[in-house]
Chains A and B, each alone.
Chain A
Amino acid sequence: MLLIECPWCGPRDEAEFAYGGEAHIARPTEPDKLSDAEWAEYLFLASNPRGTYLERWRHAHGCRRWFNAVRDTYTHEIIEIYAMGSLPKSKLGIQAYEDSWRRGSAAEQNAKRGSAKS
């Protein structure tokens, strides 16, 4: 059983939360510019690491707000909780963010280009 610290409500049982999967997946803003393989990479490929993982949670049976977590998928230790839209600050979290293959993915480049334009 995980004890998860909701940034707004404090520590609560895992049963109150819904899991949102991998964090920091940038949605391509111009999907038509991506090849089928690049779109499949965005849509289906998973990081699924054993160790530090950046993931999203929602306090479904509480304040119903989303937040991010840095969690170890082998020890289940929650290393850091941080706000949606921000980046992790812990050493492990920063490293996991920077080392992720998604940083160089076509989907993320596409998303960046799109947001620069608007």
Chain B
Amino acid sequence: MVTPTLGMRGLRRGKPRYSIFSLARHALDYHEGWQRAWRAPEPQPEYDAVIIGGGGHGLATAFYLASLHGIRRVAVVEKSWIGGGNTGRNTTIIRSNYLWDESAAIYEHALKLWEGLSQELNFNLMFSQRGVLTLAHSEHEMKEMSRRVNAIRLNGIDSTVMTPAQIKQLVPIIDISPSLRYPVMGGFFQQRGGTARHDAVAWGYARAADECGVDIIQNCEVTGIRQAKGAVTGVETTRGFIKSAKVGCVTAGHSGIMAAMAGLRLPIESRPLQALVSEPIKPIIDTVVMSNAVHMYISQSDKGELVFGAGTDAYNSYAQRGSLPVIEHLLASAVELYPIVSRLRVMRTWGGIVDTCPDASPIISTTPVKGLYFNCGWGTGGFKATPGSGHVFADLIAQDRPNAIAAPYTLERFTTGSLIDEHGAAGVAH
């Protein structure tokens, strides 16, 4: 396992720091004097690197490019507002308990970065290692889980098998009676997993990247990728042409559209993934519980809302909304496993467009077009990887070759056949 390097430490560039003291100071003038967290610059004619997509992954990439690799002229172009896509639509679950070595390496890399990220970015990400419990609902699933736990522990990642009685102790609201249609047979638990405030991740990276001189250009849609002699020369946008010899594309569900602009095709299908929250209530669950077999996961936000995540809708879509049967299915499972939620009202439902890959693993890759890089295919589980993804993608863009963690995630794996099949770990609740 590679130990992440923390980029920003001791490298402050003059932005006033957020702290308890600044909070107290600003209280004196009724919080009217807070500075802008990031600028709203006009696009420059040329940059050293352009990142398409202002979600968590894109902003993290820009931040690490500027802070670790010394590439100062970096722009992030975002067609609407930053963090408004899947970064603001996921259920904020973070974990690294994946089966295969390649996955363990990248997700654990991310988790280690998460552990120091609020301090590094000087932004409270509300990162909470409240633990992630995954349930097994059949004898077979329990056996498979035990095997998985062993593999995960061999990679040095914390993971424990739990009995139904232990689960009941950890999650008192759960029904573990054997009469359920899908009874709880056990589960496995990663204590270092948990949640973070998803918007804060985008804002924290944006603020820190801006501090390093990165231009964050919102309301600027990329309409074309210009190339000459097999190399990228820049991007056409709704705010004019931006010249750059390096372009990193981090656009999740819209990656196929970006690839088509460059004359490439990807093994990605775009599907809606839905989630919902209940009305806020007093704390009833202080961990995250996932269940792949019944397509449901649950946690409680700091505001008190129960956050439920579903499986993907069956059909391809770019509409950022899904169908009701998926929500119905999710709520049926929720009510059976947690009878206490039956009389809660659903407050909001929404969908994001996820970029699903045939092997449920991401693509972090160079392309046949020199200087054009793709980071996509995170499917239903990209949020947890945000820092690690940005960290290795920045390295790929800066060095023009993948590092040891990113190397297995090339586009070529679909030709060579060395897929990283994580359907088991991910499938639904990723």
Contacts and interface: CB of A to CB of B under 8 A. Distances in A.
Contacts of B256: 46, 48-49
Contacts of B319: 73-76
Given A1-B323, A53-B316, A48 B269 contact: yes
B126 interface: no
B21 interface: no
A2 B416 contact: no
Nearest to A105: B265
A34 to B, nearest CB: 11
B80 to A, nearest CB: 15
A73 B318 contact: yes
Nearest to A37: B415
Contacts of B266: 45-46, 48
A40 interface: yes
Interface string A60-85: 00000000000101111000000000
**Interface size bracket, B side:** 20 to 34
Nearest to A69: B315
A117 interface: no
A2 B318 CA distance: 15
A18 interface: yes
Contact of A18 (B267, B268, B314, B318): B314
B324 interface: yes
Contacts of B414: 40, 43-45
A46 B325 contact: no
Given A36-B416, A44-B358, A50 B257 contact: yes
B404 to A, nearest CB: 24
Interface string B97-125: 00000000000000000000000000000
Contacts of B325: 1, 13-15
B317 interface: yes
B315 A44 contact: no
Interface string B387-420: 0000000000000000000000000001111000
A55 interface: yes
B270 interface: yes
B357 to A, nearest CB: 9
Given A40-B414, A44-B358, A19 B314 contact: yes
Nearest to A74: B318
A48 B316 contact: yes
B317 A76 contact: yes
Contacts of B358: 44
Nearest to B325: A15
A2 B268 CA distance: 23
B316 A55 contact: yes
Interface in B214-262: 254, 256-257
Nearest to B318: A50
B363 to A, nearest CB: 11
Interface in B320-339: 323-325
Interface in A5-62: 13-15, 18-19, 21, 36-37, 40-41, 43-50, 53, 55
Nearest to A50: B318
B267 A46 contact: yes
A21 B317 CA distance: 12
A83 B240 CA distance: 45
Contact of B316 (A40, A43, A73): A73
A23 B147 CA distance: 38
Given A46-B267, A73-B318, A101-B265, 11 more contacts: A2-B315, A19-B315, A36-B415, A36-B417, A40-B414, A40-B415, A45-B414, A46-B256, A48-B269, A50-B270, A76-B317
Interface of B: 254, 256-257, 265-270, 314-319, 323-325, 358, 414-417
Give 4 closest A-B pairs by Cβ, nearest first.
Answer: A44-B267, A19-B314, A48-B256, A50-B318
20 contacts: A15-B325, A19-B314, A36-B415, A36-B417, A40-B415, A44-B267, A44-B414, A45-B265, A45-B266, A45-B267, A46-B256, A46-B268, A50-B254, A50-B270, A50-B318, A71-B315, A73-B316, A73-B317, A74-B319, A76-B319
